[in-house]
Amino acid sequence: MNKIEHIGIAVKDLEVSNELFEKLLGVPNYKMEEVLSEGVNTSFFKSGPNKIELLAATSAASPIAKYIEKRGEGVHHIAFAVDDIVAEIKRLKKEGFQVLNETPKKGADNKLVAFVHPKTANGVLVELCQEAPA
């Protein structure tokens, strides 16, 4: 894994949270995107070299809606940039981690993504991110 790609934060109201994080970070969001496969709207902020992704559910069936119902708003996942997501999935499985996605899928911000189950990562949902080919 190369670096932390972003930190994902589950929020109830994207508009309200965008205003909050704009005040907190002193910069506006630079991108908003809907990820249909995950049932979320996302909003990205940059803070120096770091990125924050706000995630708001688009339906009650969304994983984010279920997360907020159980745990409330807050840090949802930590994403790491990888050069070869397929190789990284294989490596992590070999190391004993439970990978939620055997095959990478399209995520927000032009990324291929896969997740590691929090049960095998000290309660942290880990996302692997690789730039999607053009």
| Phi, psi angles (nearest 5°) of residue 104 | -60, 150
Token pair for 19: 């205003």
Residue 1 is predicted with a pLDDT of: 84
Strand order in the sheet with 74-81: 31-35, 40-47, 50-57, 3-11, 74-81, 126-131, 111-116, 105-106
Residue 89 is predicted with a pLDDT of: 97
* Closest residue by Cα to residue 131 from 84, 87, 91: 84
* Contacts of 87 by beta carbon, 8 Å cutoff, 6+ apart: none
pTM of the model: 0.91
The tens digit of pLDDT for each residue in 105-126 reads 999 999 999 999 999 999 999 9
The tens digit of pLDDT for each residue in 46-89 reads 998 999 999 999 999 999 999 999 999 999 999 999 999 999 99
| Sequence-ordered alpha helix ranges (H) in the chain | 14-25, 63-71, 85-94
DSSP 95: T
The tens digit of pLDDT for each residue in 94-103 reads 999 999 999 9
Rounded-to-integer distance, Cα 31 and Cα 68, Å: 23
